Amino acid sequence: MTEKIIETRVSKTWLGDDGILRESLFRGAGVTLDDMKEIIAAQFEFTKEKKVPLLVDMRTIKSTTRDARVYASSEKTEDAVSAVALLVSSPVSKVLGNFFIGVNKPPYPRKLFTSETNAVEWLKKFLPRDPG
């Protein structure tokens, strides 16, 4: 099966077979407000009808602007995602992840992880339920 992948200047986004939206920020990415708007637009391409959990791999990120973090945590994103797990490892990614979670306080559950397996397990709790 060929996955649809949307690439922006700083990331790629795709929907996994498990129903979890995945976003991988490119090594050394410096995310601006314009970049974040493109990233959020890519998320909406996959979540048109329902909210889904999002795994963001930001382990090799270089920076994000304050405006980008504010936009990413605004109500504009609430219609696309049900929860966000941020995958971090470097000191920079941990600081940026903590800023996003603690300072910007997005309107959905969010958590930092150093293990992708643990992040995916946590996100599975936020998958859409079948109404039947």
Take residue 75 and report the two structure tokens written for it: 């109500």
Q: Helix (H, G, I), strand (E, B), or coil: what is residue 75?
A: helix
pLDDT of amino acid 89: 85
Pair 101, 86: CB distance under 8 Å? yes
Pick the CATH number of 5-126 from 3.40.109.10, 3.40.50.300, 3.30.70.2660, 3.30.750.24: 3.30.750.24
| pLDDT tens by residue, the chain, 132 residues | 447 999 999 999 999 999 999 999 999 999 999 999 999 999 999 887 788 999 999 998 898 898 998 888 877 777 788 999 999 887 776 777 665 666 656 678 888 899 999 999 999 999 987 654
Domain ranges for the chain? 5-126
pLDDT of amino acid 105: 65
pLDDT of amino acid 132: 45
pLDDT of amino acid 100: 62
pLDDT of amino acid 48: 78
Pair 31, 38: CB distance under 8 Å? no
DSSP assignment, residue 104? I
- Nearest C-alpha neighbor of 70 from the set 44, 31, 109: 31
